């Protein structure tokens, strides 16, 4: 939904709203981030505590920073795979013990009972 439509729909949303955190509820209801919700609620002349507004902006900046870091790690891991060098995850996998034959680890169970079936 575009901003113009959200602003028209928000009027009925605000009439029905009975919660504590209008910014969070608006953000979830309309599927926008906190900063967009703050801007649009201010456009609708909804009183918002300045401390809450700053807290929401800080939370949104931190969320974006975490996303950038996660994407950078993914890019580095992909580049390492393409270059043939092990990433931190692959080196952990390679550190596991290597077994030639998994059956050597199992106790001997005796003859297979299905070998005696005549068909």
Q: Check if the beta carbon of residue 32 is closer than 8 Å to that of residue 60.
A: no
Among residues 5, 2, 47, 6, which one has the least CA distance to residue 23? 47
Predicted local distance difference test score (pLDDT) of residue 81: 81
Q: In this predicted structure, what is the pLDDT of residue 19?
A: 84
Which pLDDT score, from 0 to 100, does residue 117 have? 72
Per-residue pLDDT of the chain (119 residues; tens, 9 = 90+): 898 898 888 988 988 888 888 888 999 999 998 899 999 999 999 998 889 889 888 988 998 999 999 999 999 888 888 887 665 555 565 666 666 665 666 666 666 666 677 66
Q: Please give the angle made by the CA atoms of 28, 32 and 22, to the nearest 5 degrees.
A: 50
Q: Helix axis angle, 34-43 relative to 50-83, nearest 10°?
A: 150
Size (the chain), residues? 119
Closest by Cα among 68, 69, 66, 85 to 77: 85
**pTM higher than 0.75 for the full model?**
no
Residue 109: what pLDDT? 64
78: tokens are 């992909």
Predicted local distance difference test score (pLDDT) of residue 105: 60
């Amino acid at each position: 939904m575009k901003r113009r439509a959200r602003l028209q729909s928000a009027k009925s949303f605000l009439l029905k709203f009975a919660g504590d955190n209008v910014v969070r509820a608006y953000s979830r209801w309309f599927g926008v981030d906190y900063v967009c919700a703050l801007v649009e609620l201010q456009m609708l002349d909804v009183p918002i505590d300045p401390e809450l507004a700053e807290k929401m902006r800080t939370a949104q900046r931190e969320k974006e920073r975490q996303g950038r870091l996660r994407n950078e790690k993914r890019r580095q891991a992909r580049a390492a795979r393409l270059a043939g060098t092990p990433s931190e995850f692959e080196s952990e996998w390679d550190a596991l013990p290597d077994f030639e034959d998994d059956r050597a680890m199992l106790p001997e169970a005796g003859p297979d009972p299905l070998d005696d079936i005549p068909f």
